[in-house]
Amino acid sequence: MQQQGKQIPTRVGLIGIGLVGTALAEQFLKHEIDVIGYDLDTQRLTQLERMGGRRATSPREIAQTVDHVVLSLPDSEIVQEVIEGPHGLLTAADKPSYVIDTSTGDPEDTSRLAQKLAQSGVSFLDATICGASSQLQKGEAVLMVGGEPSSYEACADLLGLLAKHVFYLGPSGCGSKAKLATNLVLGLNRLVLAEGMVFAEKLGLPLDTFLELLKVSPAYSAAVDVKGEKMLRSDFEPVSRIRQHYKDVSLMLKHAQRHGQHLPLCELHQDILAKAMAAGDSDLDTSAVIREIRRRTTDESNST
């Protein structure tokens, strides 16, 4: 597709069609880019076909069909399987030119995979997403990109279709590093919002009015807009899941330790998320962290 001088492919491969993958597919299809998708869950492939996309039987088939492959997967281990596994991208006779990984993975694994792909003539970009799937659907997300400058320039127009803001941050792994750092701030903002709302509730304040107050006060953060209403209405239909953020926080702590940094607030956050998962909230939206805050206040009040 050539649009006003832009170099945008007419079709892309998409591996991983979960919450974020579905939002990516919607954006591509909206811009008249054919989507050829693969996911282990055949129901997700059926949903992609309903949206107007096409299904593939393996990552290898996608690699042999398109020049640009986009990954939206849960973690680095699955990304590695998709790239290097028995039916992975690198097993294809004709390999794609570009692999764009939107997954939140380990920066060290990301750098290693970039080197592995480069040996086969495939350029790799880690283009992580700051924002939930709902924000991506609205074009309000932010992309944070690591990789070779020439690869970024070649894919910049395609990336620009997906997000309102795109930041190039440096070599491979930098997109993953930026995702961990931004998710640290985002996750703690969300946790503070949950604790503040429960505190206001205990004080007897009307929560709907309190939420409006936060929006115009110095206490405001984007979490108020994205998660406030979900907390208020106990609407925990996932646009981002607790178990996924627990994985992210664990990666933050791992890399902070390697750099000699203590993250006391992240350690507390990890414990809260772990307790939420143990209580059965793993697949709920991250706004459901308020349930764990409520459980803790109930436990403490009952023990006094």
CA distance 251 to 73: 16
Q: What is the pLDDT of residues 194-222, one digit of tens each?
A: 999 999 999 999 999 999 999 999 999 99
What does R_g of the chain's alpha carbons equal in angstroms?
20
CA distance 273 to 265: 12
Domain count, the chain: 2
Task: State whether 290 and 182 are in the same domain.
Answer: yes
Task: State whether 85 and 206 are in the same domain.
Answer: no
DSSP 219-251: T--HHHHHHHHHHHHT----SSBHHHHHHHHHH
Segment among 1-15, 125-139, 261-275, 286-300 with least mean pLDDT: 1-15
Evaluate if residue 4 carries a pLDDT over 50: no
CA distance 281 to 271: 14
Q: Could you tell me the pLDDT band of residue 298, with boundaries at 50, 70 and 90?
A: low
Evaluate if residue 47 carries a pLDDT over 50: yes
Task: State whether 117 and 7 are in the same domain.
Answer: yes
Task: State whether 21 and 68 are in the same domain.
Answer: yes
The CATH number that applies at residue 232 is 1.10.1040.10
- Mean pLDDT throughout 142-153? 97
Q: Which helix (H) or strand (E) holds 166?
A: strand 165-170
Residue 209 is part of which domain span?
178-303
Evaluate if residue 300 carries a pLDDT over 90: no
pLDDT of res. 6: 58
Q: What is the pLDDT of residues 256-290, one digit of tens each?
A: 999 999 999 999 999 999 999 999 999 999 999 99
